[in-house]
Structure 1
């Protein structure tokens, strides 16, 4: 067990250092994500003005937008292509001969790449805080529970990404899969617009998926739209998705590797 955790830690560090080598990626991520956040802030400020919409006023929307920015930076900035490439270029055949669990190793690498997005997220939040002065969490407990939501985002994001990457066994391509996953996540998480603005049937469909836990859940807890019991329920649901997606990934992988196709000479 100790050896397994040592391997996990080593893979996290390697993935983190690999991403550190590409500092231009930080600048690009900050410019792209930070620019999108500023545009979103300006849009909501003009739309809401001094009023409110479905329980969201300009003050709460400032915090909501920043939470969405942090989640998007973490999730969209992780190195999912490295996992897909191992399947598409045939390295998966070599990985299967190693005494290391493939899914667990990829999870460690994915978490390491997500941690490397921290400087981009921190700089973006600092800039937004100075420019827009968003409200803090409604209570210290809400702040702690929001932080717990973000911790669970690491395994939750990996679970969704890993399942989508495994589709490469059948499609032999990944770009389209990635675009579809990111579009679904952006829409059903509430990143584009809060789920509260959507029709009831669409909200129900969204909550039947793991995506709302990327933005709507931490924002609801942070802004006090749910009480402590409700917040714990949302976190429990998020944790359940983490476990369910992990085992779903193992099941799909076991089925997928029955046939490995390697392209090349």
Structure 2
């Protein structure tokens, strides 16, 4: 194992353990996210009844909402303020002197914090499964490809979050940026409502962004709304966003540390 990989693994473990120390966060996340999911279940059950809307009936909507809950728990439960604080309080000046790549180190920490959301997601999914009995994946292959799509959410979520955090170099504030990012992600990913319910032009705008891969892509694969080549195409697009956002983050960071002064440092 290379030194760099060992450092990545150590940072993931440290971040994971740090988040595990705050068990109240699990309870809060489960109450907030799980409660929202149950409310959505009740609402869509009343709206759909025995009918369907834009290709979604009550059976498929149950699975869709659970997939959205898992994605939201993973993404919104991750630790992003710790990265932003390093920029805002000037600690990044110390990070720049360390023989560790800043972006890669923060990525490992972020992914570790995402992994720590697994207990919350697991309990929420178990409860929803017992209460609503959603359908399984359309095929075994669809189940495997859905899992692959979820795995890609880890680097994809970091790429979007990292770029938004770098804006702190100019704004000296992060809370508003975080709210904007989460609002855009919730809407354009399909977490609020399936993209199929939106006008055609808005669907086109959504699919031109990385956000649909948080909910719409795994849901479409899981429910069999796309065949295997279509599912592989969606996963390839998701992977392309991961790579593109990573290099975009490196480019913006290189410009930011040269052009921006942080708190007079």
What does residue range 51-130 of structure 1 map to in structure 2 within 5 Å? 51-130=51-130
Q: Are the counterparts in 2 of residues 90 and 261 from structure 1 also a CA contact under 8 Å?
A: no
Question: Which stretches of structure 1, 4 residues or longer, exceed 6 Å deviation after superposition?
Answer: none
Normalising by structure 1, we get a TM-score of: 0.99
CA positional deviation for 1:260: 4.6
Output the CA distance in 1 between the equivalents of 2:154 and 2:101.
Answer: 18
Residue by residue over 1:216-238, the C-alpha shift from the partner in whole angstroms, topping out at 9 and shown as x without a partner, is 00000000000000000000000
Output the CA distance in 1 between the equivalents of 2:41 and 2:87.
Answer: 40
Q: Are the counterparts in 2 of residues 87 and 169 from structure 1 also a CA contact under 8 Å?
A: yes
Please say if 1:160 is aligned against 2:160: yes
CA positional deviation for 1:264: 8.4
Residue by residue over 1:105-126, the C-alpha shift from the partner in whole angstroms, topping out at 9 and shown as x without a partner, is 0000000000000000000000
The answer for the alignment partner of 1:222 in structure 2 is 222
The answer for the alignment partner of 1:257 in structure 2 is 257
CA positional deviation for 1:261: 3.1
Q: How many pairs are equivalent?
A: 265
Q: Are the counterparts in 1 of residues 170 and 260 from structure 2 also a CA contact under 8 Å?
A: no
Structure 2 alignment gaps of length 5 or more: none
Output the CA distance in 2 between the equivalents of 1:52 and 1:107.
Answer: 41
The answer for the alignment partner of 1:23 in structure 2 is 23
Q: Are the counterparts in 1 of residues 62 and 132 from structure 2 also a CA contact under 8 Å?
A: yes
**Once superposed, what is the RMSD of the aligned Cα atoms?**
1.1
Structure 1 alignment gaps of length 5 or more: none
Output the CA distance in 1 between the equivalents of 2:68 and 2:92.
Answer: 34
CA positional deviation for 1:71: 0.1
